[in-house]
Structures are given as structure tokens and as C-alpha cells.
Amino acid sequence: MTAFDPRALRDAFGCFMTGVTVVTTIGPSGEPVGFTANSFSSVSLDPPLLLVSIGRSSRNFAHFVNAQGFAVNVLAEGQKEASSTFARPVEDRFAAVAWQAGPAGSPVIDGVSAWFDCALWQSVDAGDHVILIGEVKGFSASQEPGLGYYRGAYVTPAATAAQLPAGPDVVIAAIVEAEGQVLLLDDGAGRLSLPEARVGREGVRPALEKLLADVAPGAASGEIYAVYEGEAEGRQHIAFRCPATSTEASRGAFIPLETARLKAVGDPATRSMLDRLATETRLGNYGVYFGSHVEGQVTRK
């Protein structure tokens, strides 16, 4: 693996979290395969992880779930035709594009705005999709403006005077745990909530560390506990379990992790997640939730 600057990777994650992407891999006979996807998400900087999802109905489904890795190619604004080609049932999608193998072996398309070549870290069942989590083994970000897709039409920086968002609306939540209790904030009207923060260009992990420093300096950045699409369109939520050595907090207060005490949590999705945590804490068997704010699937470790 070629070493790369984690700060550069953080900046690349921040710049290319939206837009049209082509996800590629190598099939069982050595042939390149790929499909168009309209999003991917960074998961971690240490190790460097990102995720994409593929539908079980995709004709390339078996190729990707059985592959050793995949690449995410963020298309440039002049590559609309490539986007359409990889979204249609074309016999040879790679006939119209030039490509080369990336550091981890997956196809990297020439002229893209950015690419991330990954080794498969983990695959997670998620309803009619499978979430592919990849460890970034190499990446590159060019100065080419990216291609976007919004409400049925392509958008590019050159096509609009309005500045487009740098990424999706990603909200992280810290489930700070200590002595069988969880840290919750009070809005002043008796409604409780987890400490949350929106993710900016700094990336997920730095945003989480900043949030913890603000509410519970003694807590450690922990593992992902839930990833789900929120009620607001385009908003993604990522919740982390963050262990703390004491119940001291700069903001909010720790309450027992008991279902009866969690009824004051205002957001139904958050309340359901904490109810699950209370049950799993008693059983000592934790899982990771993937889905929406309404329904999804818990994968056990």
C-alpha cells in the first residue's frame, strides 16, 4: 500500500461526499464491472473507511459482494455520458471509458474528479441492499469540478450560479456511556436528546472528537452503533458509542440507561435506538443498525 497523508484524505472526503459516482470492481474472470451510484459516505479516518451500497437486484450484485475490493470514481462534470452508460443495462460499460487498475486493483476511470480504491473491510446486509465498507488503499483528487444529480437532472458548478453544498447533511450523535448511564441534553422543556453535531469539511471523526470535547471531555471516540437516513430528506445520521470513565459532563447530565427513564427523549428514532442499547447492555450482545429512521436491520458482530 502506498502511504498517503491522512489530512489529504480528510479533505478529499469533505470535498467529494456528494455527486455522481461509478463504483467499480473486477469480476471473477478478470473483467471490469461497475454501476452508477449517487452517493457514498466516509466512515472513519483511522483506519480510512468509506461505504457504498448495492441493491440485491443489481446484475453485478454477486460480483461486488464476493470481490476483494472496489473503487469509488467521482465523475467530473464532463462525464454525463459515463454516468448514463453505467446506469443502463449496457453489455460492455467500459467500452466507452479509459481506465486503469488502482493501487488495490479495482478499475479507476480516467479524468474523474476523484477516486478512492478500497479493499473490502466488511459487508453488511441491509434489507434489499448490502452495504459495502471499504478500507481506502489509495486515492486521488483532481481540480476537475464534480458532476451532481438533483431532482432528476444533472447539475454542475458551471451550470448554476448558486453554490452547491459541499456534502450531504450528515449528523453525528455521541452515545456517551458511563456506569450504566448515558449522557443526555435537556432542551429546557423537558425533552431529552443525545449530543449531536453536523459534519463539515473536517470529516466525521474530527467532528465527533470536537463534540466530545464540548460535552464530555473524558469520553473516548468509540464505535459506530447506528447509520440511518433521517426523516428530513437527504440527512444521514451516524451514532457512535463513546465510553467515559466518569459521569462528569460539561453539558447535560447522565441518566440510567433504562427504558422507563428514556421516555422523555423527544426524537422517536433516538428513543428506539437507546431502548435497544438498554436491552443489549443487559444481554452483553451489541449490534450495528443500518436503515432509515423508521425501519432497518441490526447486524450482530
Amino acid occupying residue 259: T
pLDDT in tens, 227-251: 888 887 667 888 999 999 999 999 9
Could you tell me the CA-to-CA distances from 279 to 109, 165, 284 in Å, in that order?
46, 38, 9
pTM: 0.51
pLDDT in tens, 92-122: 889 889 999 999 999 999 999 889 999 999 9
Measured distance CA(120)–CA(137) in Å, rounded: 10
Cα of 104 vs its chain's centroid, Å: 20
SS (H, E, C) the chain: CCCCCHHHHHHHHHHCCCCCEEEEEECCCCCEEEEEECCCEEEEECCEEEEEEEECCCCCHHHHHCCCEEEEEECECCCHHHHHHHHCCCCCHHHHCCEEECCCCCEEECCCCEEEEEEEEEEEEECCEEEEEEEEEEEEECCCCECEEECCEEECHHHCCCCCCCCCEEEEEEEEEECCEEEEEECCCCCEECCEEECCCCCHHHHHHHHHHHHCCCECCCEEEEEEECCCCCEEEEEEEEEECCCCCCCCEEEECCHHHHCCECCHHHHHHHHHHHHHHHHCCCEEEEEECCCEEEEEC
Query: CA Rg, the chain, in Å?
Result: 20
Measured distance CA(189)–CA(297) in Å, rounded: 32
| Per-residue model confidence as pLDDT tens for the chain (301 residues) | 445 565 555 555 444 444 688 999 999 989 999 998 866 777 887 888 899 999 898 888 999 999 999 999 988 888 888 888 888 887 788 988 999 999 999 999 999 988 999 999 999 888 888 999 999 999 887 766 666 544 444 444 444 333 333 345 789 999 999 999 999 999 888 899 999 999 876 677 788 999 999 999 989 988 888 888 888 766 788 899 999 999 999 999 999 999 888 999 999 999 999 999 999 998 888 888 877 888 777 765 4
Average confidence score pLDDT of the chain: 82
